[in-house]
Structure 1
Amino acid sequence: MATLNECRSALDLVSARITQFDEAQRRAHIGERTISLTISDLDSVFDMRLTPHGLVDITPRPSTAAGNRAQVRITISSDDLVALAEDRLDYAKALFTGRVKVKASLSDMARLRKLL
């Protein structure tokens, strides 16, 4: 099981990957969305915003604490989050096998897939 700090580092890695795209591409394809990422085995949630500048305002909280309803809600284990961020786990395979659960609009799911 990965730690909360390792999960935060994984999110930083995903954010850095987003900023590697050309700025014009990011602005054209990334709309601002609120995201909640529930880490199922750590009973924790990371609330954040997806922007053309990457993932911002990343804030951890216990899963028992109330948070705002995010536009994209993801549930994943700590190890799977780290594996996805490090390209050791395929997003589509993880999604279709239930290792990653996403509640979002179809357009948001397509965008998310491109980022991971």
Structure 2
Amino acid sequence: MANAEECRTALEQLSRNLAKSTGDIHKAAALDRSLTCRITDLDLTFSGRLRDGRIVDVTEAPGPPSEKAEIRLTMSSDDLVALVGGKLNFAAAWAGGRVRLEAGFRDLLRLRTLL
């Protein structure tokens, strides 16, 4: 099981990866939306904003999210680290129920290019 610091580092790496992206991926990530990433095995939630292709203003709090974000991710700590590290395919993890992604229909359509 990864710890909270490893999860924060993974989210920072994800933000850097999104910022460097080009084409359809950059366009899909160029939203301005609230974002939460619930880490189930640590009972921890990271909250922030997806803005201009980066994840910014990240905070962490124990328990489930206090507010409903526009984009909501839920997964284990190890799955977050594996996803960002390229060891776990997002589409396969999502289809297999290891990762949950919730968002409005229009956002899901834009985000599908990230899959």
TM-score where L is the length of structure 1: 0.86
- Structure 2 counterparts to residues 46-57 of structure 1, below 5 A: 46-57=46-57
1:88 aligns with 2:65: no
1:9–1:110: structure 2 CA closer, same or farther, 3 Å change rule?
farther
Mapped to 1, the partners of 2:77 and 2:61 lie a distance apart of: 15
In structure 2, the residue matched to 1:58 is 58
Query: Are the equivalent residues in 2 in contact too, given 1:40–1:75 (CA < 8 A)?
Result: yes
1:97 aligns with 2:78: no
- Structure 2 counterparts to residues 2-13 of structure 1, below 5 A: 2-13=2-13
In structure 2, the residue matched to 1:18 is 18
Query: Are the equivalent residues in 2 in contact too, given 1:74–1:101 (CA < 8 A)?
Result: yes
1:40 aligns with 2:53: no
Query: Are the equivalent residues in 1 in contact too, given 2:40–2:75 (CA < 8 A)?
Result: yes
Deviation at 1:21, TM superposition (A): 2.5
Stretches of 4+ aligned residues off by more than 6 angstroms = none
Mapped to 2, the partners of 1:67 and 1:113 lie a distance apart of: 26
2:17 counterpart letter in structure 1: R
Deviation at 1:108, TM superposition (A): 2.1
Percent of aligned pairs with the same amino acid: 39
The CA RMSD measured in Å over matched residues stands at 2.1
Instruction: Report the count of equivalent residues.
Output: 113
Question: Where in structure 2 are there 5+ consecutive unaligned residues?
Answer: none
1:83 counterpart letter in structure 2: A
